[in-house]
Amino acid sequence: YDILAETLFSGEIAGEPGSFANEIDRLFETMGRVDPLDLLRAPDWLPRLTRIRGRKTMAYFRKIVTDTVKMREAKFKRDPDAVPQDFLTLLLKAEGPEGLTRAEVEDNIITFIGAGHETTARSLGWTLYCLAESPWERNRVEQEIDQVLAREPDPTKWLDAMPFTRAAFDEALRLYPPAPSINREPIEPEMWKDLYIPKHAAVLVMPWVVHRHRKLWDRPDAFLPERFHPGNREKIDRFQYLPFGAGPRVCIGASFAMQEAIIALAIMLSRFRFDTTAETKPWPVQKLTTQPQGGLPMQVTPRQVR
């Protein structure tokens, strides 16, 4: 949350930052639940408890975003040079008759927060777990990080300079995709092979299934970062690997998430070593994100870099 708040708003949020973070957690918890009435195919006019809670939380969430946008707009009018050049400022500069509407500005902010609040943190946890279970891969990643950090102080250049680290993260995303399912709704009827898909049908794409399909991947359940090494990555079909979705509605924060994750991994693995313990028994649970039931307890020890 802190990274998102700083990147999006430079920390300038209307209201209490702690309350804002708590409401995001509450929104994710509500969105990740399935209402029993939906399973029973009850009519839409019957009230759902999850929807009532979700609307209340979303109303609070949107009010904070609206107030934050107004606060930044007022600051920009007083002194344009004093406004930080963050994501919110860029969106406001894109506002206008031929640009974004105010609703689109706020919707983009909400989408960015929703897409990046929990997904990156979960993916980092799964990556640390996969590396702990593969000591040889972990050693190679640690060596790469040590070498790059010794010569390159600029974190924005680490992504391109760390192919092994990125490959390990990409492979963890394949095994444990941040979004286990992606909803789509066709705006026109479609024929796909012999399957007729009517207009407005509920289409559910399952990255978890695609990423572990035996017709698409060799040893699909194994952690093999070399799949994403230079020379191999180009052989992967763009619809075979969907951690951020695909097509025109691909995740808006994909590039940001990748930069954020590699920087975080580099900092953590340059200072600490993560090992599994007898209590580390991950059981993936597919809610709004792919998360380990009961968490991922790990042993963390300081590293002594030579």
The secondary structure of residue 250, as a DSSP letter, is: -
Average pLDDT over residues 8-12: 77
Report the pLDDT value the prediction gives residue 193, as an integer from 0 to 100.
87
Report the pLDDT value the prediction gives residue 135, as an integer from 0 to 100: 94
pLDDT greater at residue 248 or residue 206: 206
Contact indicator for 197, 186 with CB cutoff of 8 Å: yes
- Average pLDDT estimate for 47-55: 56
> Which pLDDT belongs to residue 10?
80
Q: Which two tokens stand for residue 222?
A: 């194994």
Q: Are 121 and 292 in contact (CB under 8 A)?
A: no
Domains in the chain: boundaries: 2-115, 119-302
pTM > 0.75: yes or no:
yes
> Could you tell me the two tokens for 231?
């020379």
Token pair for residue 298?
């790990």
Confidence at residue 129, expressed as pLDDT on a 0 to 100 scale: 96
55 or 246, which is more confident: 246
- Give mean pLDDT, residues 247-251: 81
107: pLDDT confidence band, cut at 50, 70 and 90?
confident
Q: Look at the domain 119-302 and name its fold.
A: Cytochrome p450 (1.10.630)
Mean pLDDT of 14-41: 59
Residue 172 phi, psi (nearest 5): -65, -35
More confident residue, 92 or 124: 124
Confidence label for 37 from pLDDT (cuts 50, 70 and 90):
very low
pLDDT at 101 > cutoff 80: yes
What 212-221 contacts at long range (C-beta under 8 Å, 24+ apart), as own/partner pairs, is 212/175, 216/240, 217/174, 221/175
In percent, the amount of the chain with pLDDT more than 90 equals 41
Average pLDDT of every residue of the chain: 84
The residue-averaged pLDDT of 275-292 equals 84
Q: pLDDT category, 17, cuts 50, 70, 90?
A: low
- Average pLDDT rounded to a whole number, residues 203-226: 95
Helix (H) or strand (E) holding 184: strand 182-184
Instruction: Give the model's confidence band at 274: pLDDT under 50 very low, under 70 low, under 90 confident, else very high.
Output: very high
Q: What tokens were used for 198?
A: 């009517």
The answer, yes or no, to whether residue 291 has pLDDT greater than 60, is yes
Please compute the mean of the pLDDT values over residues 295-305 and round it to a whole number. 88
